[in-house]
Chains A and B, each alone.
Chain A
Amino acid sequence: MDPILIDTLTQIPAPVDSTSIFIAALADSLVATKMALAETRSTLQASTDQNSFTVNNLWMMIATSLVFIMHLGFATLESGLTRAKNTTNVLFKNTVIPAIGLLTYALIGFNLMYPGADFAGGFFGFSGFGLPLPEGGETSNYNPGYTYWTDFLFQGMFAATCATIVSGAVAERIKLTSFLLFSVVFVAIVYPILGMWKWGGGWLQVLGFHDFAGSTLVHSIGGWGALAGTMLLGPRLGKFEKGRIYPIPGHSMTSAVIGTFMLWLGWFGFNGGSVLSADPALVSKVLVTTCIAASAGAVLAALTIYFVSKNFDLSMTLNGILAGLVAITAGADVTSVTDSFLIGSVAGIVVVFAVLMFDKLKIDDPVGALSVHLVCGIWGTLAVGVFGSKAGVPQFLNQSIGVIAIGAAAFGSALLIFLAVKAVAGLRVSKDEEIYGLDAGEHGMEAYPNFLTK
């Protein structure tokens, strides 16, 4: 107690009840202190919240940029594994698809995939066209992890990857306009609706299906589209002739390696961003499981192809990296390091035999997109029921239901779209154009015009 206060109180003349005055004064000062403290605390709390919101949103924007650079990865990988005469065509497709994907996602895709609780049904929901900023969309009231704008752009970058997967499998023989027609419909309607089943709060989410960053929702959907495309198109000229399978080597291993590493880098954002906040523990763990699976896929694919053909095939090793990455994408958040190693290893082995299998089935896939994205996407999704904290028979069944349902819907709708495009515009370039190269036929320009000096 303040000695001066005591002094003052004791000097006050008798009739006044000094004790009650003293108690009242004390109570007042206590209340004031308490209020000041509460105010400081709430200001501190608010600024901590604001700081963590800023950090979360910053990480999500970095992750968005990393997913964006994956499109450069797809472009270089696909052009490297195809022939020089089709390089401009492959690069052109990989250039316009992200652009088309972002535009359609802004127009309808985002609102089809994340319609919000008011509009979401089990299978379909649509909350209107365009990108109207919701109430508080730029603050942490929208989501503690990101703003509305970050949300849109991050998910939009995912959408375009789905159509890019198709482009590699159908390369070197599909008409450019037909492919673009297919891509617009596929990325604008099919991908968002199927994605909504899980990530938009649809029936697969209710069921308990687990797909962390999209082994099924992104990679398998793209893979099923690619399968429909390759089946309808048929193989490239000269691939299967007189009962033999002739390899058609890609024109630049350097380009393929650059693309693969670019994709690996992008996966830091693809999986790391799918945490949907900058949660230090989960983000760093997800990056570790992602990289361990990629490394295991690379080593096991290299060894497997060596046992098959007595050669260390670089293109197959690159496919092994991507196989590991695709496989771990479904369970990067729920698996341990050992689990991720096993998932990646199996993916590295499976991808090699899948490539050989598709060749046996006379399905021509120049870059191995089916083996990587479809087969290992399925494997990774099922692996969530086998490895990690969610493992168990019920989860495995849920994963299987998800794989089958999404597979049937994606393959069926891709087949329908391709058939419709075939009826309207045809699918395949002429035999002459295929032999001469799609660079000349579709674009009137070569990727490497100065091989003959002037």
Chain B
Amino acid sequence: MKKIQAIIRASKFEDVRDSLHGIGVEFFVFYEVKGVTFQNEHKGSYRGLSIYDSSSSISRRVIEVVVPEIDYLDVVNCIKKAAYTGEVGDGKIFVSTVDQALRISVS
């Protein structure tokens, strides 16, 4: 099994979700994250004081999906295609091996 973790633009989330559903992925999780970069750092301000944490960090979404080994390339390509804009900051995909998967509701 492979776990695919993809950091994508929040604006591309719907596209990726629909594409994954289109190739037969029935379930995945996602969460909101913020990234920090020191290139092109944007400085905000609140009541006259410089502020970094909320306005300068980059909002992204991470999706995680675990699939059988034979399917993972399809999923990776599907995400790559759906999350693509061509601009810097489209995100990254990490693939790792999963040893075991257990379902809690089945004893």
Do A and B truly interact?
yes
Is A430 on the interface with B (CB-CB < 8 A)? no
Is A305 on the interface with B (CB-CB < 8 A)? yes
Give Cα distance in the complex from A316 to B48, angstroms: 8
Is B100 on the interface with A (CB-CB < 8 A)? no
Q: C-beta contact mask, A305-320 vs B, less than 8 Å → 1, else 0?
A: 1001111010110000
Q: For residue B78, give the distance in angstroms from its CB to the closest CB of chain A.
A: 29
Q: C-beta contact mask, B37-63 vs A, less than 8 Å → 1, else 0?
A: 000000011111111001000000000
Give Cα distance in the complex from A192 to B49, angstroms: 38
Residues of A within 8 A of B54 (CB): 249
Stretch at the interface among A89-97, A174-182, A341-349, A352-360: A352-360
Q: For residue B30, give the distance in angstroms from its CB to the closest CB of chain A.
A: 15
Instruction: Select the residue from A246, A310, A359 with max chain B CB neighbours within 10 A.
Output: A246
Q: C-beta contact mask, A236-273 vs B, less than 8 Å → 1, else 0?
A: 00000000011101000000000000000000000000
Give Cα distance in the complex from A309 to B44, angstroms: 9
B49 touching A311, Cβ below 8 Å:
no
Contact-residue bracket for chain A:
10 to 19
Is A195 on the interface with B (CB-CB < 8 A)? no
Give Cα distance in the complex from A217 to B46, angstroms: 31
B47 touching A316, Cβ below 8 Å:
yes
Instruction: Select the residue from A313, A359, A368 with max chain B CB neighbours within 10 A.
Output: A313
Contact partner of B49 (CB less than 8 A), chosen from A246, A352, A368, is A246
Label chain B's interface by main secondary structure.
strand
Residues of B within 8 A of A308 (CB): 48
Chain A minimum-CB-distance residue to B51: A247
Q: For residue B48, give the distance in angstroms from its CB to the closest CB of chain A.
A: 5
Contact-residue bracket for chain B:
under 10
B5-56 contacts to A, CB under 8 A, are 44-51, 54
Contact partner of B48 (CB less than 8 A), chosen from A246, A249, A355, is A355
Residues of A within 8 A of B50 (CB): 247, 309
B51 touching A305, Cβ below 8 Å:
no
B48 touching A305, Cβ below 8 Å:
yes
Chain A minimum-CB-distance residue to B49: A247
Chain A minimum-CB-distance residue to B53: A249
A282-311 contacts to B, CB under 8 A, are 305, 308-311
Give Cα distance in the complex from A17 to B76, angstroms: 132
Give Cα distance in the complex from A356 to B46, angstroms: 11
Residues of B within 8 A of A310 (CB): 45
Chain B minimum-CB-distance residue to A367: B47
Residues of A within 8 A of B46 (CB): 247, 249, 313, 315
Given contacts A305-B48, A315-B46, A356-B48, 16 further A-B contacts (CB under 8 A): A245-B49, A246-B49, A247-B45, A247-B46, A247-B49, A247-B50, A249-B46, A309-B48, A309-B49, A311-B45, A313-B48, A315-B47, A316-B47, A355-B47, A355-B48, A359-B47
Nearest 6 CB-CB pairings of A with B: A247-B46, A309-B45, A247-B49, A311-B45, A249-B46, A247-B51
What are 9 A-B interface contacts by the 8 Å CB criterion? A247-B49, A247-B50, A249-B51, A249-B54, A309-B49, A310-B45, A311-B44, A355-B48, A368-B47
